[in-house]
């Protein structure tokens, strides 16, 4: 690969990862607002748009210089990883919101560890998707995508815990 092409690929990866981080910020802000009455009307569209942007950008990190079957395997891994990570993120938000509702039988905050395992599995699948769709030099962007996915979950769950401690009125 020529130096010009390598620099172009690096610049493209940087822009996609920056967009992924901005979409993750939208998920971190919009996600914890969803279970709060009235603020959920703002949080839901923000989180939905950010989730769509996150999914598209995560699938754009791979290249097209590999064979069709590696493309197919990589896209499949990416879709499964995004689904598992999204489900784990929403499950964690629900666990925290139910905990702070104070109902009998509400899950303890330690149940977030179950969601964290699934979030890690989803982040690993997203990273595997990037590596599978790259001929070479895919480890850096893959690791960055996995770290952004993990931080999105941790920061979103942390923000909803802080909102719960501050007394946010979570919906029924």
At residue 66, the pLDDT reads: 86
Q: What's the pLDDT score for residue 172?
A: 57
* Residue 89 domain-assigned (yes or no): yes
Question: Residues, the chain, total?
Answer: 172
What is the radius of gyration, based on Cα positions, of the chain? 18
pTM for this prediction: 0.91
Binned average pLDDT, 10 residues per bin, the chain of 172 residues? 82 93 96 92 95 94 85 94 96 92 87 95 95 87 94 95 92 66
- Phi, psi for residue 11 in degrees, rounded to 5: -65, -40
Over residues 95-116, the pLDDT tens digits come to: 999 999 888 888 899 999 999 9
Q: How many domains does the chain contain in total? A: 1
Query: If you ran DSSP here, which 8-state letter would residue 107 be given?
Result: P
Give buried/exposed letters for 70-79 (b at 16+ CB in 10 A, else e). bbebbeebbb
Alpha-carbon distance of 41 to 86, in angstroms, equals 20
pLDDT for the residue numbered 124: 96
Residue 170 within any structural domain of the chain: no
Q: Is residue 68 part of a domain?
A: yes
How far is CA 60 from its chain centroid?
14
∠ Cα 59 51 75 (to 5°): 20
Provide the domain limits for residue 25.
3-165
Cα gap 85→117, rounded to integer Å: 10
Distances (CA, A) of 99 to 59, 96, 172: 34, 5, 12
pLDDT for 15 equals: 93
In a domain? residue 41: yes
Q: Is there a domain that residue 33 lies in?
A: yes
pLDDT in tens, 117-145: 999 999 999 999 999 998 888 899 999 99
Look at residue 103 in the predicted model and tell me its pLDDT. 80
Question: Is residue 35 a contact partner of residue 93, using CB atoms and an 8 Å limit?
Answer: yes
Any domain includes 140: yes
17 DSSP 8-state letter = H
């Amino acid at each position: 690969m020529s130096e010009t092409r390598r620099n172009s690929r690096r610049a493209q990866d940087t822009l996609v990862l920056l967009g992924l981080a901005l979409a993750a910020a939208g998920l971190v802000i919009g996600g914890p607002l969803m279970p709060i009455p009235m603020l959920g009307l703002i949080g839901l569209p923000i989180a939905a748009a950010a989730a769509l942007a996150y999914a598209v950008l995560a699938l754009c990190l791979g290249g097209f210089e590999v064979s069709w079957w590696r493309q197919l395997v990589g896209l499949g891994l990416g879709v499964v990883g995004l689904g598992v990570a999204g489900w784990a993120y929403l499950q964690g938000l629900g666990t925290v919101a139910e905990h702070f509702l104070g109902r009998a039988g509400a899950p303890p905050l330690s149940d977030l560890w179950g969601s964290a395992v699934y979030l890690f599995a989803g982040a690993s699948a997203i990273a595997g998707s990037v590596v599978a769709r790259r001929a070479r030099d895919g480890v850096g962007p893959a690791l960055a995508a996995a770290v952004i996915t993990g931080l999105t979950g941790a920061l979103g769950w942390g923000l909803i815990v802080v909102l719960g401690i501050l007394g946010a009125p979570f919906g029924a």
